[in-house]
């Protein structure tokens, strides 16, 4: 059993449709004219927007869609800049008088910050926002360059919580700063990060999602300790899912069973598919609908 667990650590979260070596995030924004999710073209530059610049609202701003831009901020925790992408929703300038919910989505191991964009994140979010299925969301897609490091010793979680969140608050005043309108989720290893951060810093988020996410080593045994600091009723809403043919299905299901034993309420879904981008693309709309529902709550969770 221990050998199996160690095997998960070494190979977990390897997306089937991505390169074996992470692609560094470039300093130029993702193209404004977005490529098809199946044929990404991340090398076509557009003029760089300054982070504080707002989109000019127009009567047809919903039809124009949201904006995707690159970001880079100095990180003491990482010893180098934290990079990634931001999705700013349609009519974002018009939302500056209100608070816009924040969703942080993390990529899988050996993938890059654009993985969610390749799945069609921007296009799907544009449509669901225009149809008023979900509220306008600012979605951050940070890059984890060293995705083989021990998560308990990595500075990635500190970079997200202690550096990315304050940076977003300073650069984008309309972005939500309260737990009731913040969400965190991820694919595979990124989902492991979402669960680790969500259970240890429960006061920071309203919703956390582990999508095809085998838990990090030791998480199941540490849950009891974490619950002493954060009782089950105070935890964020939790979403777990996996494809029925996922190569990590067994540890994911075991983690789900452990949550049941501990009385931790959560959404659990098993769908057709494996551990790859085809599966995540098929579930993308369901993910956004769930996060949108949690982050649109009228009453703060705490």
The pLDDT value recorded for residue 166 is 95
Using 70 as the pLDDT threshold, list the residues of the chain that sit under it.
1-60, 94-98, 297-302
What's the pLDDT at 4?
Answer: 36
d(CA 109, CA 189): 5
Cβ neighbours, 10 Å, residue 276: 20
Q: Output phi, psi for 218, to 5 deg.
A: 90, -5
Check residue 61 and give its pLDDT.
77
The full set of domains in the chain, from first to last, is 85-295 (3.40.50.1820)
pLDDT the model gives residue 191: 97
CA gap 158, 169 in Å, rounded: 16
**CA-derived radius of gyration, the chain:** 18
Lay out the sheet containing 138-142: strands in order across.
67-73, 82-88, 138-142, 102-106, 182-187, 207-211, 237-243, 267-271
Q: What is the pLDDT of residues 243-300, one digit of tens each?
A: 999 999 999 999 999 999 999 999 999 999 999 999 999 999 999 999 999 998 544 4
Q: What is the pLDDT of residue 96?
A: 64
Residue 15's H or E segment, with its range, is none
């Amino acid at each position: 059993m221990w050998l199996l667990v160690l095997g998960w650590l070494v190979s977990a979260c390897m997306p089937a449709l991505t390169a074996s070596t992470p692609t560094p995030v470039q300093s130029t924004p993702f193209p404004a004219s977005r490529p098809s999710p199946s044929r990404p073209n991340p090398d076509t530059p557009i003029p760089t927007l300054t982070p504080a610049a707002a989109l000019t609202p127009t009567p047809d701003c919903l039809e124009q869609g949201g904006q995707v831009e690159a970001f880079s901020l100095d990180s003491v925790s990482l010893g180098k800049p934290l990079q990634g992408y931001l999705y700013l929703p349609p009519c974002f300038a018009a939302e500056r008088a209100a608070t816009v919910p924040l969703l942080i989505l993390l990529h899988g191991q050996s993938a890059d910050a654009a993985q969610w964009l390749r799945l069609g994140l921007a296009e799907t979010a544009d449509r669901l926002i225009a149809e008023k299925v979900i509220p306008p969301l600012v979605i951050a897609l940070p890059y984890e360059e060293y995705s083989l490091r021990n998560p308990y010793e990595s500075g990635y979680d500190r970079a997200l919580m202690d550096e990315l969140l304050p940076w977003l608050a300073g650069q984008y005043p309309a972005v939500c700063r309260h737990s009731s309108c913040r969400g965190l989720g991820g694919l595979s290893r990124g989902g492991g990060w979402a669960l680790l951060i969500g259970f240890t810093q429960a006061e920071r988020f309203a919703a956390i999602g582990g999508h095809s996410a085998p838990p990090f080593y030791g998480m199941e045994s540490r849950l009891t300790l974490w619950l002493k600091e954060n009782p089950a009723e105070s935890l964020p809403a939790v979403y777990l899912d996996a494809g029925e043919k996922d190569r990590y299905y067994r540890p994911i299901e075991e983690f789900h069973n452990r949550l049941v034993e501990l009385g931790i309420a959560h959404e659990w879904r098993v769908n057709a598919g494996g551990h790859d981008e085809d599966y995540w693309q098929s579930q993308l709309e369901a993910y956004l609908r769930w996060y949108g529902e949690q982050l649109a709550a009228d009453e703060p969770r705490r």
